[in-house]
Structure 1
Amino acid sequence: MESETRRTYPVEDSFSRTSVTVHEAVAIMLGYADGPIVMRSFNENPSDEELEALRSAPFYIDEGWREERESLEDACRRTGTEGSSQESIDKAAEALETFEREVSEAKRWLCEIEDELSKGEASALRLDTKHSHDHFPHITLWSLREWAQDKGYETRLVPVSRVGDATPKLRMQETVILETLESLGHDPKRMPPNSKGVSGVKSAVSKKIDGKEPFLGSTVFKKAWDRMLSTGDIAYEK
């Protein structure tokens, strides 16, 4: 199965692995990726520790599903109550329908790949013993390619990943927040602390981007902001 709208993910080191996790394999079968998914740092000169953490950070195909569904459902509600044109209403409904269809496809691929792996030594999917462990088995790219071909499934699988022109919804949100902070003249890692009775930097950023793509849900911006604070991607000056 080949997705009409292909998604790809930013990679830091395309030769880091010749195998993929089950969730990465699902992304490949959906046409979202073409190899291992390794998140890239927002820092120009990341430390060795940060790079190692990024390489080992697991990818989950369902990352951001709840936020994206909330955003699309909110868009449907707004177009239905704001006197929007029928074209806008249909477009919002179609976007939600497409999302739900992709979620169903992802679940289907997850079940099929897990079922194949459960065959053990009889499985056509071979495990990379160097990277595999109990919680995250790694499937060799070559065996995934052969398995897909034998099943008659189409993929855009290649031995390594390429940096694409789209990022997951959460990464897109983070990028927009960082760019907005910089456009307002703020260092994302040294934001001015809030002062009592005065609108802070969060409010200034919110006014510029909240309610617009990719922050269409009522709480999407707040969740993205809080997530970035917790990970240290943004921080207030102490």
Structure 2
Amino acid sequence: MKLQVALDVPTLADALELARKVADHVDILELGTPLIKAEGMSAIGAIKAAHPDKLVFADLKTADAGELEADLAFAAGADLVTVMGTADDDTISGAVEAGKNAGMRVVADMITVVDGRVERIKEVSALGVDFVEIHAGLDEQARPDYTIDALLADGREAGVPFSIAGGVSVDTVASVEEAGAEVAVVGGSIYNADDPGAAAKAIRDAMGQGAAASTGSA
């Protein structure tokens, strides 16, 4: 499983500083949607230039013109882009086509999809996305009854390649890995930490512990 950090910070300078602190411990650097809106597509190239050995994820959350927006992000240096799982099927297919042409990857973001999520995950996967991000947004996570368990259950049930975003931390990352996720996406647990590098390392170190524990108890 790969570890992805969401650079959910307001400026490119902040993103570059955060990326510098955590890069040794993560596989994927994600430019959050607000960052791309504030700084433009050039921010993608700046992160890629600073960390050419890392995968750069442009969280566009595209809802229309899928091929065009994906083309722009790939041209700027992105290795992966998101298209909304709620978007029209043609929008998703357009982004997938751009990914094929560029030799890059497209992810369907399932944020805001709760009812019928497993069915929609299967539908968008059939459209050709590389994997599906089962995602609870910040507002959903702020609800007092929120847990990551529903995301993990839907990933197991869907039976397609998926990532998990929403409440991934040092305490939950082993469960994400056990559920079969290809990528664990971590945001606030890293960028809100007093020492983001140490927080990223702790999460990296916790990966595989669930599997190891299961093996040891067998």
| Superposition TM-score, scaled by structure 1 size | 0.24
User: RCO greater where, 1 or 2, for CA within 8 Å and sep 6 or more?
Assistant: 1
Give the structure with the larger strand fraction.
Answer: 2
Q: Which has the higher Rg, Structure 1 or Structure 2?
A: 1
TM-score (normalised: structure 2): 0.26
